[in-house]
A and B are shown apart, each in its own frame.
Chain A
Amino acid sequence: MNPDEIRRLFTSALADPEPVHRAGTDAIVAAGRRSVRRRRTAIAGSSGLAVLAAAAMVLAAPVVLSGEDRPPVGQAGPEPPAETTEDGEELPYEPCPGPTEEMTSEQLETSAMYEAALDEAVTEIGGSLGALCVEGQTDYDGFHYDPDFGGYRYHEIAVFPDSGGDADLTVEVRDPVEGPLEERMEQIAECGEAADCTWNHGSEAGALLETEGDRRVVVDEDENPEGDPIPFSGVLLGLADGTVVRVETGGGEYGLEPLEVTHEELAGIAAAIAGGEESPTREHDEGYLIPEDGELIEAFTQAVVATVPEAEIAEGEPTGFAPAADDHYGNDGTELAYLEVDVGGEAVTFFLQKTPIEAPGDGGATRTAAEHYARCTLAADCEFTELDGSTALTHRTYGGGQTELTSIEHRAADGWAIGAGVVGGTADPPVGFEALDEIVHQIR
């Protein structure tokens, strides 16, 4: 059989009409956002304060339904197992489950902390993590604690876009054990057997052992039961408390061009993980001029009272900011604070949303940028007004059982979008966009 015959065979196999896609592009984008948000939430969750704040918001946030199928707004906490979008569209399945059921909260936080440090360190050398969970040692997407192994493990693919290459990346953080540290490290590395080992005495982070060699990887037992020799290089970093951090990368492009990650770079990754507890959280990337939460909420409360004189604010209001659990408010970093108010005998919820703009200045205050950050594709209606070259105002309306109105000021130069919204009353809120615009204006 020759190549042309093979191509005809393929064409014949595809002769049936293709099925209709079960998930549209929007559903894929939504799932991508969820994936990114989950990773960021895990990273942010490595801060004890962030965890406490999120837990507090579960109790404090009001449940407001502005559409029959819409989930409660402001509910923080674990990502819901969303199988469909708001439109009922099926979301893509994810083959790499998170290890949430098998670790303690402390282990989860530590895993997230290690992953944040690893992500940062790999990014610094031009890589990108999490392309694919790897069959074999772990079934998880990310770090997980393995009590039988005696430490945290990570095994995924790192992608290096500039070179177009990728690499198997294995990271281990082994618990301290009794006995000589360097001897243990040599045993872990299988020095003299599977690896050539060299001690690097110039490391300030701890005892550093550099390794390299070949591992035989069996890809197809029938075709090649002995496997192919796959080059690897790695480091083991022994810390003063006996913890051993191992970072090893195997050639992703087997037999082609071995990916060159130097021992120095690997040592940098190991040191970053070892010092992960001191890594800053990355909930909001540096450079965003987000006002202090307390100031913002205070200004919001005063603006509501000033703009809606008949408003009576319930005791204990307002709440603090919490991550938006629903995509319809804004992007991954969107947070909301709520204010329960009685307006002429009707229970009304005002909310303040703040959305960091990932690339301040990018796109200016154009309609495309403003409507993107306001999630206008999900709204029943959006009205755009350009205020000046870097500021725009968007009036966003969601329908459903209760109408939800939001006036969002998109401040491209500052790097954030802020919105004042209202939902409540019998069907339509007792205040409109004019009042919301005034509230936003006063906050500014």
Chain B
Amino acid sequence: MGNALTIHRDQSNKEDVSGELIQLVSFKLDEEEYGVDVLKVREIIRMPSITRVPNTPHYVEGVINLRGKVIPIMSIRRRFGLSEVENDKSTRIMVMDVDGELMGFIVDSVSEVIRIAQHEIQPPPPVATSGIDQECMSGVINQPERLLILLDLEKMSSKEDRKMLSNLSI
């Protein structure tokens, strides 16, 4: 009896750990909803004027002045090979902390901050939707009324990109 009880408690402990709540910022690209860890997001701003930077990959939109700091801006649509749309009122730039540097990502709109439990995150399906790189996807959240794709934006500007960039600049 005693043994069984202990085991039970252990399980409930585990349950607690994996049931830890995490907060995600959800945003939209086309009709799909995505989420990123709120702790990585520094701020969300409207579209300022962007200065184009020559000789960069097509998805690097340019640079902006964020209160005296110059930060690069990337288009997630272009990065994922989605069709391009005109920027409108709801277009936003999410300024994120990527490897200690600030970087902006253009999204169609930012919806809300949501809380989900760790265990709700499922591994990404083997076949990615709409050309999104498998490696940028860190999981899927399947809720009754919505499907949220969890992105790891640090991967988006990861080694290969940097390598590509440094090759470009030779």
Q: Do these two chains really belong together in a complex?
A: no
